[in-house]
Copies of this chain bind each other. A is one copy, B any other.
Amino acid sequence: MVGIKDVAETAGLSVATVSRVLNGHPSVSDGARERVLAATEALGYRPNVVARSLRTDRTGTIGLVISDVLNPYFTELARAVEEEARTLGYSVIIGNADERADLEDHHVRGLLERRIDGLLISPADGRSPMTLEAAAGPTPVVFVDRWIPGTDVPVVRSDGRGAIADLVDHLHALGHRGLAIITGPTATTTGRERVDAFRAGLAAHGLTLREEYVGRGDFQAESGRRATERFLDLPEPPDVVFATDNLMALGALDAIGARGLRVPDDVALAAFDDIPWFSHTDPPITTIAQPTAELGRVAVRALADLIAGSPATSTVLPAHLVVRRSCGEPDPEGATRE
């Protein structure tokens, strides 16, 4: 591989000068600059950022550890993060934890060893030792979407509680009383928030959440399927199933379809997270939309602040209800669709 030494040699200058040109240092003569650029071009020189990083102690890279790349919510988040990071001059390395604490650990450790400048994590739960270590360590960390209570880390997330209250109102107004929920892991903050808000929403209508109407899922499709099957096997199945993310809603759809039942006639379905497909499912799905891309962008800016040494602020953005037809109502022609 051609190195800076080769460039210096063919340019007839020292490596110091070559380095200055390549890094846009002002103290270089135009002549030197030209010769360096010409040599760089001629040799097809690619700077070795590994060496540069070792020397400068910054990698120009941030890490992003998400729970599940197959989840369109996280995909959209990741895309927004990469876009904003690129604007700010950072590359991003994505680690997919697949909702597994051991994988989260693996990726956080790898990213830390790689000396990324900062870390964005959507922590599965508080049980990944490396995540805890990262949160306490010197590398700047920002939590996005999920967070770990009790840590001193800025968090950028959305608050779904208001929207969930709206959802329960909506369901109640449609006459539904047997409301079931498929939760995420209750060790996750989003998992807990959604079931708590749902319970609170029911309470506001004088209803209580029946124990058998709580299905414990893990935010992945298969768990949504299993929980829904259990609901349907109940002597008194629920009127509505609220799947607290889009993949579990997909699983619920699978389970309902497999029994030859129809949504919403036999059982209604609501979801959390809006994705383009929800407009085209049979029927279109009522869901709660997060400002996903915005979360990603804000999180990157917060992390960049931290890296720059400024204090970073936490941000909470609101989610909102998007009414479609999966809970039984007539389609109000794009009511809350933005």
Contact = CB atoms under 8 A, between A and B. Distances in A.
Interface in A104-152: 106, 109-110, 112-115, 133, 138
A147 to B, nearest CB: 23
- Chain A contact surface mostly: helix
A46 interface: yes
A254 B1 CA distance: 50
Contacts of A46: 109, 112-113
A17 interface: no
Interface residues of A, number: 45
B47 A50 contact: no
Chain copies in the assembly? 2
A75 interface: yes
Interface in A54-88: 54, 59, 69-70, 72, 75-76, 78-79, 82, 86
A170 to B, nearest CB: 22
A9 B220 CA distance: 47
Interface of A: 1, 44, 46-51, 53-54, 59, 69-70, 72, 75-76, 78-79, 82, 86, 91, 93-94, 96, 106, 109-110, 112-115, 133, 138, 221, 250, 253-254, 257, 276-277, 279-283
